[in-house]
Amino acid sequence: MTTEKTLILIKPDGVKRRLTGRILQRFEDKGMKVVAAKMLTLSKDQAEKHYSVHKGKPFFAGLVEYICSGPIFAFVFEGKDAISVSRKLCGATDGSKAEPGTIRGDFSAGIEKNIIHASDAQESFDHECPIFFEKNEIHEFVYGDEALIL
């Protein structure tokens, strides 16, 4: 197991449904450390850069429009195997196929409005994180109980 960072976005539907605190709690309960957080509304340019891997696909414009439709919360979490652990917490991308107990399994019924985004690999994190955070916005510190968790 390695300590790594991952980007998590609570999408407009999650924010509008007042799920931010409940979702954040799940990551903290799992032992993830919040090292950066902010609320923002994405510009079209930011959204297109974030979803650039899907450019040219029929659903690209809808993704961009949706993520820009309201405020999001962006987090950087740090922890042991943070990327794979976070993906498991989120559940399958299509909420109708996500397991109960996962974020999407509990709060999403489809693929379009699926509550949350989580980096799927280190390369994705490296591409995505600078869209949302400057290096000086990511903090290095130690929680009092960190030795018990990490």
Q: What is the pLDDT of residues 77-100, one digit of tens each?
A: 999 999 999 999 999 999 999 999
β-strand partners of 37 = 75
Confidence class of residue 2 from pLDDT cuts 50, 70 and 90?
confident
Domain ranges of the chain: 3-138
Q: What percent of the chain shows pLDDT beyond 90?
A: 89
Of 21-25, 111-115, 117-121, 125-129, give the lowest mean pLDDT range: 111-115
Q: What average pLDDT does this structure show over 59-77?
A: 96
119: left (phi over 0), alpha (psi -120 to 50) or beta: beta
pLDDT of residue 146: 77
Report the pLDDT value the prediction gives residue 150, as an integer from 0 to 100.
65
pLDDT value at residue 109: 87
50 given a catalytic annotation: no
- Catalytic residue among 50, 54, 117, 139, which? 117
Cβ proximity of 120 and 128 under 8 Å: no
- Fold (CATH) for 3-138: Alpha-Beta Plaits (3.30.70)
Condensed to tens digits (0 to 9), the pLDDT of residues 23-63 reads 999 999 999 999 999 999 999 999 999 999 999 999 999 99
Which pLDDT value is given to residue 115? 96
1 has pLDDT over 60: no
- Asked if 143 and 149 touch (Cβ cutoff 8 Å), the reply is yes
In the predicted model, is pLDDT for residue 147 greater than 90?
no
